[in-house]
């Protein structure tokens, strides 16, 4: 097969590559073919994702040929034969998940849950994308952020804690060094359960923890780096662990 530049289409991201790897496993060693219903289904899913804005409207974007080509790349990663233009993302995903089809299926279904929950919404802005991406995939990560940034949720949480006083549930800081009228600004709401397992509906106050802004960032980074869910309790223990012992 000829090496193509993908008609100037945007690079594949992690979620897209995981979906392609799922298709690779579904083919059970068969050569990917753009007429195969499994490849056509992959192409349709990829074209429905809201990641790439205008670029995704081009007819060549993730079309069945492109989808088959990507699956072929992943295949050559396994066989070591054929194509030499396997991307860094392909290599990373293959090294991480190539021996674990069960995990690929699980992650692909989380990504699809993200798609289902985000349909009708516009593409995430680059600001929202940030630098963390949970194992649940980009869409559910964004959903996590959106939920906990909802002003109503944060207000309700602060109100609930009015009598008790504000304290970060991870580091214990109360920010009492700040004048009382600024103190609340140091705190954020964090959703303590994976979005995929809470589903639609209103966020319950029992599902959110109060964290200082720094701990909240650190916890998100931990979840992103370790590619699994990490609760506040565990995060508290992890930040106290000696340097270099965990990451
Ligand atoms: Zn804190
Ligand atoms: Zn959070």
Pair 56, 49: CB distance under 8 Å: yes
Q: Residues whose CB is under 5 A from ligand 1 (ion)? A: 168, 170-171, 212, 215
Dist. CA 157 → ligand 2 center (Å): 14
Sorting pLDDT into bands at 50, 70 and 90, what band is 110?
Answer: confident
Q: Closest ligand to 148 CA?
A: 2
Distances (CA, A) of 186 to 75, 167, 171: 49, 10, 13
Average pLDDT over residues 15-44: 94
Residue extents of the structural domains in the chain: 6-123, 129-240
Query: Rounded distance, CA 136 to CA 132, Å?
Result: 11
Q: Which of 45-54, 66-75, 125-134, 142-151 is most confident?
A: 66-75
More confident residue, 154 or 130: 154
* Structure confidence at residue 1 (pLDDT): 39
pLDDT surpassing 60 at residue 130: no
More confident residue, 186 or 151: 186
Q: Which two tokens stand for residue 200?
A: 């639609």
Pair 45, 112: CB distance under 8 Å: yes
* Structure confidence at residue 115 (pLDDT): 76
Dist. CA 147 → ligand 2 center (Å): 9
Question: 122 burial class (0-12, 13-18, 19+ CB within 10 angstroms)?
Answer: exposed
Dist. CA 188 → ligand 1 center (Å): 10
More confident residue, 127 or 140: 140
pLDDT surpassing 60 at residue 126: no
Query: Rounded distance, CA 238 to CA 232, Å?
Result: 10
CB atoms within 10 A of CB 181: 7
pLDDT surpassing 70 at residue 150: yes
* Structure confidence at residue 4 (pLDDT): 45
Query: Rounded distance, CA 135 to CA 96, Å?
Result: 12
User: What is the three-class DSSP state of 240?
Assistant: helix
* Structure confidence at residue 6 (pLDDT): 54
- The owner of tokens 């009382």 is 180
More confident residue, 246 or 201: 201
Dist. CA 15 → ligand 2 center (Å): 20
Q: Closest ligand to 188 CA?
A: 2
In degrees and rounded to multiples of 5, residue 212 shows phi and psi of -75, 155
Dist. CA 171 → ligand 1 center (Å): 4
Sorting pLDDT into bands at 50, 70 and 90, what band is 127?
Answer: low
Average confidence score pLDDT of the chain: 84
Sorting pLDDT into bands at 50, 70 and 90, what band is 124?
Answer: low
* Structure confidence at residue 171 (pLDDT): 93
Sorting pLDDT into bands at 50, 70 and 90, what band is 145?
Answer: confident
Average pLDDT over residues 83-88: 74
Residue-wise pLDDT tens digits, 156-174: 999 998 888 899 999 999 9
């Amino acid at each position: 097969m000829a090496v193509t530049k993908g008609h100037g289409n945007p690079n594949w991201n992690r979620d897209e590559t995981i979906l392609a790897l799922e298709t690779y496993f579904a083919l059970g060693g068969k050569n990917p073919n753009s007429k195969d219903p499994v490849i056509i289904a992959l192409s349709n899913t990829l074209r429905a994702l809201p990641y790439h804005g205008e670029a995704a409207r081009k007819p060549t974007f993730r079309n069945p040929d492109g989808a088959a080509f990507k699956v072929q790349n992943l295949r050559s990663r396994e066989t070591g034969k054929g194509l030499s233009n396997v991307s860094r993302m392909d290599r990373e995903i293959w090294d991480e998940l190539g021996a674990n089809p069960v995990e690929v299926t699980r992650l692909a279904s989380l990504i699809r849950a993200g798609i289902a929950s985000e349909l009708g919404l516009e593409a995430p802005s680059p600001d929202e994308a940030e630098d963390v991406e949970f194992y649940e995939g980009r869409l559910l990560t964004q959903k996590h952020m959106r939920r906990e940034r909802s002003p109503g949720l944060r207000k309700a949480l602060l109100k609930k804690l009015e009598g008790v006083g504000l304290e970060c549930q991870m580091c214990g800081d109360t920010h009492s060094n700040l004048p009382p009228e600024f103190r609340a600004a140091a705190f954020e709401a964090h959703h303590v359960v994976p979005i995929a397992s809470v589903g639609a509906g209103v966020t319950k106050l029992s599902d959110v923890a109060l964290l200082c802004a720094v701990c909240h960032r650190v916890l998100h980074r931990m979840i992103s780096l370790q590619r699994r869910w990490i609760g506040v309790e565990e995060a508290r223990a992890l930040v106290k662990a000696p340097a270099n012992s965990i990451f």
